[in-house]
Amino acid sequence: MALCAKKRPPEEERRARANDREYNERFQYASNCIKTSKYNILTFLPVNLFEQFQEVANTYFLFLLILQLIPQISSLSWFTTIVPLVLVLTITAVKDATDDYFRHKSDNQVNNRQSQVLINGILQQEQWMNVCVGDIIKLENNQFVAADLLLLSSSEPHGLCYIETAELDGETNMKVRQAIPVTSELGDISKLAKFDGEVICEPPNNKLDKFSGTLYWKENKFPLSNQNMLLRGCVLRNTEWCFGLVIFAGPDTKLMQNSGRTKFKRTSIDRLMNTLVLWIFGFLVCMGVILAIGNAIWEHEVGTRFQVYLPWDEAVDSAFFSGFLSFWSYIIILNTVVPISLYVSVEVIRLGHSYFINWDKKMFCMKKRTPAEARTTTLNEELGQVEYIFSDKTGTLTQNIMVFNKCSINGRSYGDVFDVLGHKAELGERPEPVNFSFNPLADKKFLFWDPTLLEAVKMGDPHTHEFFRLLSLCHTVMSEEKNEGELYYKAQSPDEGALVTAARNFGFVFRSRTPKTITVQEMGTAITYQLLAILDFNNIRKRMSVIVRNPEGKIRLYCKGADTILLDRLHHSTQELLNTTTDHLNEYAGEGLRTLVLAYKDLDEEYYEEWAERRLQASLAQDSREDRLASVYEEVESDMMLLGATAIEDKLQQGVPETIALLTLANIKIWVLTGDKQELLQSLLVETAVNIGYSCKMLTDDMTEVFIVTGHTVLEVREELRKAREKMMDSSRTVGNGFTYQEKLSSSKLTSVLEAVAGEYALVINGHSLAHALEADMELEFLETACACKAVICCRVTPLQKAQVVELVKKYKKAVTLAIGDGANDVSMIKTAHIGVGISGQEGIQAVLASDYSFSQFKFLQRLLLVHGRWSYLRMCKFLCYFFYKNFAFTMVHFWFGFFCGFSAQTVYDQYFITLYNIVYTSLPVLAMGVFDQDVPEQRSMEYPKLYEPGQLNLLFNKREFFICIAQGIYTSVLMFFIPYGVFAEATRDDGTQLADYQSFAVTVATSLVIVVSVQIGLDTGYWTAINHFFIWGSLAVYFAILFAMHSNGLFDMFPNQFRFVGNAQNTLAQPTVWLTIVLTTVVCIMPVVAFRFLKLNLKPDLSDTVRYTQLVRKKQKAQHRCMRRVGRTGSRRSGYAFSHQEGFGELIMSGKNMRLSSLALSGFTTRSSSSWIESLRRKKSDSASSPSGGADKPFKG
């Protein structure tokens, strides 16, 4: 494939002249060829190997391989390292090649698409990759846009065309684009061939909603905006044809500019493993040094006496140099303490966990036909360690399906229904919904319950008519009428669609639009308004306006927007109405409804003409165009008359309250970060708490206090946060915790005290105050206050602030964070958190594309964390503990043997056993455990959320657990060497000859090792499947099969120099003494483990042990009820077990506040007043996390 993009200096501006390739080629713009692949046939091998050897582990093993090629220091054949290394490199290379093949395939498919290009006055078929900047392209209906185009003309009137932007922003709603009037008449090929206009515009960038440029043609200049552009990735809809001028091509298009790489995320276990591997390498060097010193001493004191028949090699001239060579020899022999197969096995296990998530039918949404998807394989175990969840609200916790619920018009509120006594009727008590049969164009799905609003419309109330007239005119909705009277609205947001639908049902039906007109059917009469200007919505303005001229010639501005913005722009004469409407707004927000304020303003002809001229000049400006336009808009949107307000309902998703409750019981803190106002969020979480009772108290009336931070200055915010901390401390003193608040208390102590305060608090902070709270000198005060609260809500925050809050918690708290959202405004938060989860909802797929995991409903999060996450963490920890154990047990035997072989770097095992130990004999059983193991079934994981806490505290694999595994491995290696060594010193064969010889000793030790590690993994396996049985016993069978084969006559006949010891295995294993030695070694190695686990199970069981016991009790009770219809001795046995506990989970299990338990299963457990060991550890962790690393002013640094 041709080279698609060359390195070019950054552009300051883009110049593109139509139909002039020679002129445009002078600027060396990128071609329209897309290249996402990394390799080709020639570069694959060198580039891929270079990338793989960027990994420290691969470079380390390559270094070992080079050492093994040096005869003077290598006592092992080179294939003991090259076989596993080549296997790893090959597997990775095949995976990379497969991925790149599909990228090549996708690139070729896109680059070879056909497009009609106007060349020399003739439309010709060209591949996309050959399209150039300045070309004029013809698009037809349902075709993809080939490059970023300036729309010149279309088949629709006024140069309109309709596009779908799903590939850009996930929105499936149609959007309208329009050619500028001067080019909209260029629909003829001959006219387009003569078109020689030049566009000067901004350089390539990734801003999808912004474009600024100017068209120079016929000595005139015309402003260009995003409304004139068709971006690559869009699809032309409901438009027969259109022509466009290529402005940006290939990698310069906004689609490709937005396809940057996501930041690579690593788990805490990955980071710990890197540290441990360095420690192991240091340990390896220490062992090499010890054995090298031993070799030098031995050669000096003893070896010199045997020079006659054991001479040194030619290169060795002293005992010191012999020790030096011995050091490198032992580095080679002992390198298996960090086997290369570890990294491959970890990736295989993670891949298996990802497939389990993808295949989980309980996370499959039948309604949307959407499965859960693990979009990364590197973070699965971290799902079992989450402590903080940062969630968006709209579309994540709520359905994002908007329903027009209430409104306020001219000071009167509509939407509530009252009974005969004047009491507000609840939903179930309401009469039939309003009958809209008078309106043949009404949407039959629309429901409204208050008939007085319809009566006001029918009575001709002017304020009500103007209210719905505004809703039918002030929007960007597209209307499609497939059949007579069947209207379909395509809205860019669900809110806008709900408002236009409400106006439609109340008699103000939006029928159609052109670039200059809007047609509305008002109470059965069609009226066409001249559309003079659209002052569009953006995140800064937070409002939208239209200026229209009615058939009588009267000009009026209609505006709708956020209350905080619009209420400040009203005429002073509306103050009384403003007060009433504000009360209604607060009432609506308190019920969890989304609100907008509506206003209008009459404009005289002269003022409008003058304003329109200023708007034109601002739109033509080359610099600061948007700021100038905003200033012009600000001027006209002032002194408006208040009409009323709307309230739209966005209900909670199914299962959200239960999910929040369960995650809270798992000690996961949920922070809500949203753009909605604080009253709405309070209502949301009050509703949540009502639904789930007292198990999840988030902003309930029973909370000790809800702190609301609304300061507008740094000093105000600091003071409000300080008062919140003081109140929490005062409350703790009141209940007798013994804390005394001191203003000069160190930050670390303050933090630990705050997190242990009595009572339940909540913090609500708005975006303006949050901007101050996130400043460098106040962020710690905000964080320590927030972390002491049970619920934290940040409302009206920007996407950047969402990411900053997540980054703050990541920076100062030793905790795993998870961010979940469904919209493009959640992308920065999702990318910042340790784990990002995207919900495929109503707001497109941008969040999903940026996420690590995705599914369709928030309720699936509990299963992702409490089942898949917890299991993944458990499996990975057990895998790593066992892996390090078996490899230290295997490798350390060489160390002990060194003291008995003159430190000569002689190996204990046969070199083939060394090669196959990690890739054949012990690889599959540990993989099976790492993929399939579980401590309790999935139902119990959901029933006992406290099972999740060991992952948060990182209890199952940490430095302490690592050293325990290493100690067990060293202990096993000592017994593995010295028991056979002691037996063989005096043992004889059946015929009376000496049993001890090197090969017999090697076979005995190797067989003992394989059996011991197989028994050990049997003890470690908590969930047996057919695969576990097959792999464990099959690996043993394979070991014996290979062992006998290597000592057989057949292999000796074929390779006499490699397999010299014919019959050794058969003769050795035929001796009863050998088998007794193997059994003794196995028992002595395993019995301490069995004894320790038995005592721990009875004296200090984990919660998972207790849950497994209750499950066993349930099964026994069910069996006894089925067989005897009476209760046997199960109860007494259960009570005896419970009384044997010293400090277990009785209190947790019996406490209804902490977990949901079956009374039958736990009726025999007795409670204890002491706190559980896991709570003690949590307090220790909290203290250590809050201790300063560099002074008392950095309490959270870890």
Catalytic residue numbers?
Answer: 392
Classify burial at 573, counting beta carbons within 10 Å of its beta carbon; exposed 0-12, middle 13-18, buried 19 or more. exposed
The residues, any chain, with a CB within 8 Å of residue 814's CB and separated by 6 or more, are 1181, 1184, 1185, 1198
Q: Measure the CA–CA gap between 181 and 167, rounded to whole angstroms.
A: 28
How far, in Å, CA of 154 to CA of 187, rounded? 7
Contact 597, 561 (CB under 8 A): yes
Query: Which residue, 608, 593, 488, 502, is CA-closest to 545?
Result: 608
Q: Which H or E run contains 163? A: strand 160-164
What are the structure tokens assigned to 17, written together? 């002249």
Which residues are paired to 520 by β-bridges?
Answer: 510, 527
CB 135 within 8 A of CB 117: yes
Contact 1133, 1106 (CB under 8 A): no
C-beta of residue 832 within 8 angstroms of C-beta of residue 848: no
- Pair 907, 333: CB distance under 8 Å: yes
Place of tokens 């046997």: 1128
What phi, psi does 718 have (nearest 5°)?
Answer: -60, -40
Cα dist from 180 to 202, 222, 229, 433, 990, whole Å: 18, 8, 10, 46, 103
Residues ≥6 apart with Cβ < 8 Å to 664 = 670, 695, 696, 698
Q: Is 1056 helix (H, G, I), strand (E, B) or coil?
A: coil
Dihedral sign from CA coordinates of 1122, 1124, 1125, 1126: negative
Q: Which residue, 1143, 1140, 1137, 1142, is CA-closest to 1162?
A: 1137
**What is d(CA 955, CA 946) in angstroms, rounded to the nearest whole number?**
14
Euclidean distance between CA atoms 411 and 424, whole angstroms: 19
Instruction: Show Cβ contacts of residue 627 under 8 Å, excluding neighbours closer than 6 positions.
Output: none
Cite the DSSP H helix spans in 308-408: 319-333, 341-359
Q: Indicate the residue type of 37.
A: S
Q: Take residue 1034 and report the two structure tokens written for it.
A: 């099959």
Segments of 835-896 assigned E as strands: 835-839, 853-855
The CA–CA distances, whole Å, from 768 to 81, 339, 773, 1055 equal 60, 54, 9, 80
Question: CA torsion sign, 262 to 267 to 271 to 277?
Answer: negative
* Whether 938 contacts 1111, CB under 8 Å: no
List helix spans (H) across 668-766.
678-692, 714-734, 747-754
Cα distance between residue 1000 and residue 1055, in whole Å:
21
Helix-, strand-, coil-residue percentages of the chain, each rounded to 5: 50, 15, 35
Q: What is the DSSP string of 444-467?
A: TT-----HHHHHHHHTT-HHHHHH
Could you say which DSSP state residue 706 is in?
E
Question: Do 818 and 386 meet the contact criterion of CB atoms below 8 Å apart?
Answer: yes
Q: What tokens were used for 379? A: 């973070």
